[in-house]
Amino acid sequence: MLQDNPLLVQLKKTLQLKTRYVEGVVKSTEKDFGFLEINQQKNCFIPPLFMKKVMNGDRIMASIKHENDRLIAYPEKLIQPFLKRFIGRIEKKNNRLFIIPERPLLKQSIQCKPSAHLIRYPLEEGDWTIAEMLHHPLTGSQNFFAEIIEFITNEKNDLAPWWITLARYNLERDAPNIESPTEMLDETLDRKDLTKMPFITIDSASTEDIDDALYIEDIGHGHLKLIVAIADPTAYISSGSAIDTVAAERLFTNYLPGLNIAMLPRYLSHDVCSLLPNKRRPVLACQVIISSNGTPDSDVQFFAAWITSKAQLIYNNVSDWLEDPQKSNWKPKNTIISQQINLLNRLCRSRNQWRQKHALLFQDRPDFRFLLSKKGEVLDIIAEHRRIANRIVEESMILVNICAAKLLSDQLGFGIYNVHLGFDPMHREQAATMLANHGIDIHPTEMATLDGFRILRRQLNAQPNHFLNTRIQRFQLLSEIKTTPGPHFGLGLEVYATWTSPIRKYGDMLNHRLIKAIIKGENGVRPSNALTRKMSERRRQNRMAERDISDLLYSRFLQKSVGTAKKFSAEVIDISKGGMRVRLQDNGATAFIPASLIEEEHHDLVFSHTHGYVKNNNVILYRVTDIIEVVIVTVRIKTRSIIARLANNY
């Protein structure tokens, strides 16, 4: 029989040796050829002609042949396309439409057509659109082909980067355009009349959606009575209503540099529900008594009420006055307001001391605010530090959030909770070993407990710098949103749930409804786990959109520094095999210093991401948390990357 012919068997084995099939990811280059990345250590060359059948990021099956002393990959089958739904810019050639994907490593102009609902829309050169890939060369088509499914904006729009970014993450670009209720719901709630009490609000100067007001009273024996009043949108929005459905889809107000997209219609968030001065407003309130050492009394009261804020105060003004009343250009309008501020400052100090002993404190790092022109140009970047007034509001909100979490846990056993479980169980041993190498001994099982985590965190915070803090972060889990109570290791708390921002967070609205159910003696409706998963994903999308816009604005702002001798103080925040990543201390921008710009003879340098240092001949040259001076050498707007070099090498 032919199949038994030894010559044929040998020939078949030879052919099998010459050709084999592997799975990998396509990596394009600046030139026409590319590579198939099989794993981190192995890749194969893809010839220019065959790169036309694939694009960067495609996962494919390829035949591999050994030719001219190197492995050549020939694309055979598409496993997972890199592009499905994507953003791109319209280009016209010979009366045909093409779309250029908004991806730095994708060079293809993809032929396209408008979808049926866009056929009458005159798409122009430079328009930004959303497309879906219809055809791929590895699935039987001759060329790539896409369908335009949505118009985003034209290239002349100054806010185009904002619209494009929001479209990239499938986020809304405007506040909900939906009719808002003007009448309150009949909730059968008795509301206490607190309108004569001198509640005050403290926010940023630009804040319009004011959701918290404070009243405090000295009741003797070193005790303070605090009432935190929170705006009450659920007094107007019924569960399952049109507005509630929209809010449940958006989940958060989305704050971007120079732009915010409200979760609720602005008529509600900026007017009807906002705790504006001298306006009677419905609220959900929490009353708690605090001893001189910051310990809250167990008799915490939640109730519905009416209040009228007597003063809309601004963080910086209050901080200036508290820090130095004589030099401050601002002062409270009367003694009642000044007394409220001073008592709140006293509360803040005692609660801060309580959290140092019984929980954990935040690390003080500034936020950075972009000052933009109407056309979206960066005029300046302002560092906003957490000052006394910020801490007053922060401590008050954390206190009543702890109270709400305990109430929901004890009375219902469910709600919307912020949960953080500390160290990843898979990495505790590794984390303990790393800490031991730096003189901190802690057993992995101790690290898994809330008390052990608190002790460790206090030890790390007492270090002369935050090097170990940065090293330990990679072994920790991310915080989660859960329907069941759980500890928040990052705050050092047994349970934590927010209800103080219902205008901006749908989870806080849900907790409002649950607290109201408890007040009325009813059973609340348990939120679904699917909803909390959706919250986590939407929070991630919002943060990525904020990061993308910030990166673009930083690139634009620092472009003017390229080629100048301007020096920036910077903190080393990460080490990779290719160089160091630094954060500019004045404005918060991150830049990369490649190895070649650290030392001319950089081949002898050892870069350790694990240990966070750069070594030369066993001498540590730089490590994470070092403060260095840099100059900006290149800014690539398209990839939003900033390249720096050491100032002393300039």
Q: Which residues are catalytic?
A: 203, 209, 211-212, 315, 504
Distance CA 136, CA 53 (A): 8
DSSP 397-435: HHHHHHHHHHHHHHHTS-S-EEEB--B-GGGHHHHHHHH
DSSP 177: -
Query: Is-contact 28 56, C-beta < 8 A?
Result: yes
Distance CA 367, CA 47 (A): 48
Nearest to 468 by CA among 499, 444, 436: 436
Q: Please, what's the largest Cα pairwise distance for the chain?
A: 109
Two structure tokens written together for 146: 């896409």
Coil, strand, or helix at residue 329? Answer: coil
Two structure tokens written together for 273: 């529900």
Coil, strand, or helix at residue 144? Answer: coil
Q: Which position has the token pair 């009416």? A: 306
Q: Which position has the token pair 């896409």? A: 146
Chain centroid offset of residue 432 CA:
28
Q: In DSSP terms, which residues pair with 381 in a beta bridge?
A: 370
634: number of Cβ within 10 Å: 16
Rg, Å, the chain Cα set? 29
Distance CA 447, CA 454 (A): 9
3-state DSSP helix/strand/coil percent for the chain, to nearest 5? 30, 30, 35
Distance CA 346, CA 359 (A): 19
Residue 288, burial from CB neighbour count under 10 angstroms (0-12, 13-18, 19+): buried
Nearest to 285 by CA among 269, 301, 271, 298: 301
Q: Which position has the token pair 């991806």? A: 103
563: number of Cβ within 10 Å: 11
Nearest to 202 by CA among 312, 96, 341: 312
Distance CA 33, CA 53 (A): 12
Q: How far is CA 515 from CA 301, 326, 503, in A?
A: 11, 44, 16
Query: Is-contact 107 54, C-beta < 8 A?
Result: no
Distance CA 75, CA 90 (A): 28
Two structure tokens written together for 216: 């405090």
Measure the N-to-C terminal CA separation of the chain; round to a whole number of Å.
Answer: 77
